[in-house]
Amino acid sequence: AGQKTAKKRQNDAAENADNAETTESEQKQEGKRRRKYTKRAGRKLDTAARVFFSNRLSASEADTQRFVPQEEDCQRFDEVRKAVGEDVGDSQAGIDGSTPSTPSGVSAGVGYQVKKIRIGSYEIDSWYISPYPDEYSRHPLLYICEFCLKYMKSEFTYQRHCMKCTLKHPPGDEIYRDGNISVFEVDGRKNKVYCQNLCLIGKMFLDTKTLYYDVEPFLFYILCEYDARGYHFAGYYSKEKRSAQGYNLSCIMILPSKQREGYGKLLIEFSYLLSKKEGVPGSPEKPLSDFGLLSYRSYWRRSIYEILLAQGAERISIEDISARTGMTVDDIISTLQTDGMLQRPPYGLGGYRLVVDVEKTSEYLRKAREKNPRRIDPSKLMWTPFLIKRPAVALEGDGAANAGNAVADGPAHDGGMAGDDAEDEEGEA
């Protein structure tokens, strides 16, 4: 028995020695393979860089050798990967053992927040959390190309991208141009990545926005400022291609660096211009945010007042106002009721009447034009509707029918706006 035990120990020792020699040999072979691969990859990258960037970058700028991982980099990577696996290996499955509900690579709603973005020559603070991938949302500053909207983590990568980016305008059709202002129509199905990047930017400044990746059912209208360098992104709005409720706008956003310049109301007016071109009254998607409601109320009031003053003492119905503005009857009635201009006649007579205070209405329009002189010129629109729709003229309910038959009785001074602060409304959605 003793001889067998001693022989077994000798065999075990010999086997352990063989395993140690095999492990050492494998490590040496792995090191040789890595060094060989590193040199080969470096030569390939260096050759490709010189060929691809020969006309645009200098030799030092095109040198990519410093980005090739060396052997010590691979060792550090392996050490960190092992350390992370040992420390937080089980943290991904919650306390109760369940798997995380957030998709891989996407930040959760309460995760990291990008503090600032740099787009063009502006560095802008973010307002809300946007679901950028984790590797990007952990950085406090993201660099975004103002032409293709690609986001990057470092300034060096951003500068190299700007040298190579060939896109100088949104990837769509330019349907409107007036001076240095242009509007492009971009299809979410044809330019999916661009529209997804656009939605990620919009989420940084819109708390109620929930659409990030499902952009195919939407059209996006991009507002740009033109100069010698190209078309610079300023804001956008989106709308559904087929809206069962007749919405002509789903989401609208103006960059904070471009706010207080009247671009918000300009895009609202543009959306109604397209509704009139389609021959179907439109309305924004409900519910509206606080800033959105202020902007729309201001635009509705200005459009209705201009028509009422131009009409003079002649009678006009709410359906006529809807046909000339592209607004729905409900939005017109809501605005008139808010300003106290829609009144029921005395002595129990049916229907409603519009009571217009000419002096206050004229003063409101004068201040509005001084404050926001930018307007859309319909003659400069070059656009064909995406879908041919049938005009919907049916009204539901007796109240809507009676309100729709309301007519203006001409100048009067027993009605007017809701308050003196109405002309001071300002906001961008």
- Residues 300 and 335: their CA atoms lie apart, in Å, by 7
Burial class of residue 121, CB neighbours in 10 A (0-12, 13-18, 19+): exposed
Task: Report DSSP letters for 102-129, one per residue.
Answer: SPTTB--TTS----EEEETTEEEE--S-
Backbone angles phi, psi at 222, to 5 degrees: -100, 125
| Residues 6+ positions from 422 with CB-CB distance below 8 Å | 301, 339, 364
Task: Report DSSP letters for 302-332, one per residue.
Answer: HHHHHHHHHHTTS--BHHHHHHHH-B-HHHH
DSSP H or E run through 163: helix 155-164
DSSP H or E run through 54: none
Burial class of residue 64, CB neighbours in 10 A (0-12, 13-18, 19+): middle
Name the DSSP class of 341: -
The residue type of 205 is: F
- Residues 339 and 356: their CA atoms lie apart, in Å, by 10
Tokens encoding 357: 């205070």
Name the DSSP class of 235: E
Task: Report DSSP letters for 37-49, one per residue.
Answer: HHHHHHHHHHHHH
Does residue 285 have an active-site annotation? yes
Of 240, 285, 306, 426, which one is the catalytic site residue?
Answer: 285
User: DSSP E strands: which ranges in 112-213?
Assistant: 116-119, 122-125, 141-144, 151-152, 173-178, 181-187
- Residues 16 and 300: their CA atoms lie apart, in Å, by 86
The C-alpha angle with vertex 246 and arms to 323 and 331, in degrees rounded to 5, equals 55
| Residues 6+ positions from 222 with CB-CB distance below 8 Å | 170, 172, 183, 184, 186, 198, 233, 235, 236
Catalytic residue annotation: 285
